[in-house]
Structure 1
């Protein structure tokens, strides 16, 4: 029994100490970035403006984006799909939930579609690949109730999203 414990201990120690540095992907390594949007007041365009009771749903899966169920914020971070060249969200301002937690018809819903060209970039053996998004274009459809997002503006011409620390788009409302 003592030999079995020693063998198991030796195997565990050997596996821990034989890991090479590039076998682990550090948390500080940049991965596939999200689209970062800041909201501004349409009347005074240099003033940030909160969106109240913001509710964000993925159009393809009808899942509420974590952290965006009736929040007040002037920033939005949207994950982009890496398996196709566009991602669509329902972004609702002044959203209202009924007593069962279901979204009512109140609020103002805009459909935001982000189109792009994907490029997979090799990071390392441990981290694998990340996707960057080139030529990013955002379109907004307000439907029959009209847009609450008045217009959008890219932070840069020929926008490429490869950095998750800067704002990529400005939405005015």
Structure 2
């Protein structure tokens, strides 16, 4: 039986296919590259263990000196938790949390409490596709006292904001 020798052209084609497939990379799709939000949980201040979630009625959240609302929070919602963005272009932010929010002739009539937040900013490399995401560390939050605070106390549960999976700030009311 006669066998023919593979031709140089066929070897070149097979070698090209082999090398081409070997150099393929996975698609650069980013699935874990979102900068985390500050997760705020609202709890019953009468619970000694601070574990009983308590809804805030018609909650509105607004950054001080801004007319907009964080896109991550529904406006005038009744809820026991929210997730709000921390700016990655600054190390402080002030949010207004408004309980029983309503609009009367263009004026806010709810009970407005002001939270001042400060943090240090760092970056964490996620992947080549995602690049870097912000990490907020050393979070401190203070409540401005007024004559009718609906917020009774604040507890920073985790001073590092690096995921959206757990509550970092408890608001007792």
The 5 A counterparts of 1:11-90 are 20-21=25-26, 23-25=28-30, 27=31, 29-44=32-47, 45-66=50-71, 67-90=73-96
- Secondary structure in 2 matching 1:110: strand
> Structure 1 residue runs of 4+, over 2 Å off?
18-24, 65-68
CA distance in 1, matches of 2:27, 2:93: 32
Q: Which has the higher helix share?
A: 1
Alignment match of 1:107 (pick from 88, 107, 110): 110
Unaligned 5+ runs, structure 1 = 1-17
Contact residue 149 and residue 172 of structure 1 kept, 8 A: yes
Equivalent residues, number:
148
Unaligned 5+ runs, structure 2 = 1-22
Tell me the C-alpha RMSD between the 2 structures: 2.0
CA distance in 2, matches of 1:131, 1:64: 21
TM-score by length of 1: 0.77
Larger Rg: 2
CA distance in 2, matches of 1:40, 1:56: 17
Per-residue CA deviations over 1:122-168 (Å, capped at 9, x if unaligned) read: 2222111101011111111144x432111101114xx2111210111
Equivalent residue, structure 1, for 2:163: 163
The 5 A counterparts of 1:1-20 are 20=25
The 5 A counterparts of 1:74-153 are 74-98=80-104, 102=106, 104-143=107-146, 145-153=147-155
